[in-house]
Structure 1
Amino acid sequence: MSVTELKQALPDHAKDIRLNLSSVLKTEGAPGLSQEQIYGTALASAYAADNVAFARQVESLVAEQADEATTNAAKAAASIMAMNNVYYRFLHLVEDEEYGRMPAKLRMNVIGRPGVDKTDFELYCLAVSAINGCGLCVQNHEKVLRQAGLGREAIQSAVRIAAVINAAATTTRFAA
């Protein structure tokens, strides 16, 4: 599958999403990110967007460029953030510091050993957390990325990819 084919699946009312897909999936449209980071972020975002058919299309798009480790890390980011985003959004929303002092007692080993570069995995987690709407996780992943030396432009690029992939997944879910 190509970006053109992915765009063609979108109806006319989603012309802006089509144009944005053309942009954010290339290094010129995602400043600060490598093509591998772009594809890993797009894939993690597609897994988080709750549209299996669209996720398969994105898998097909990145298949020749993303290796198995990147694909597995994208799946792991979507999976672990599905859990963490619920738990940490709860902590944030209840505004009770006592919960924050309690151990989470949730296994999160993949964050320490994701199978890809730690910065890349953090990008994937940031994108998924943005889609899932967990402010606490977004703040923490952004902070880790900045500490790792990523600039604001690269971080913004990852969130833009998440936004466009999420919009495309939503559009194709109800387009038929």
Structure 2
Amino acid sequence: MTPILSARAIVKTFAGRNWFGSDDKRAVDNVDLDVNEGETLAIVGESGSGKSTLARILLGLVKPTSGSVTYQGQPLEDFATSDWATFRKAIQPVFQDPASSLNPRMRVDTTLSHVLRRHKLATRQTLDAEIATLLASVGLDAAQFRDRYPHQLSGGQQQRIAIARAMAVRPRLIVA
């Protein structure tokens, strides 16, 4: 079986300088991984150990210095525009800082409805029910939270909204 997402020999180095010249920092050092259907994979490490950088590489947001990432066996570097659209729907991010990933001028229901309508996953008739289902799936009551803005939510509630937004498109994989 072909993994949903694979990474081979991933290295990411950031250029730096000090008084003595070059001072490159290796954030990710030779990582290999496979994520198969139905699996949960946790990447753990100390602060500054490269977890977020690796996540950005897996999402195709940052190019590795060397190595390759494949989605269903196809290297990301070979993707056409249409491949990226499919990938973005199948692999959803949940970013570390939910406050910066939520539009402060959009209520919770607007945030979720944009995703549902953009991907044609709800009609006008089913939109309210879909939003309620998404909120319930992350432990939030729609009647209490749908009309709130991000600044009216705790950090944990903001993170749940970000997770609900990622789940709205029914992805194959969530990278958090």
TM more than 0.5: no
TM-score by length of 1: 0.30
Bigger relative contact order (CA 8 A; separation at least 6): 1
When you count helix as a share of all residues, which structure comes out higher?
A: 1
TM-score by length of 2: 0.30
When you count strand as a share of all residues, which structure comes out higher?
A: 2
Q: Who wins on radius of gyration, i.e. which is larger?
A: 2
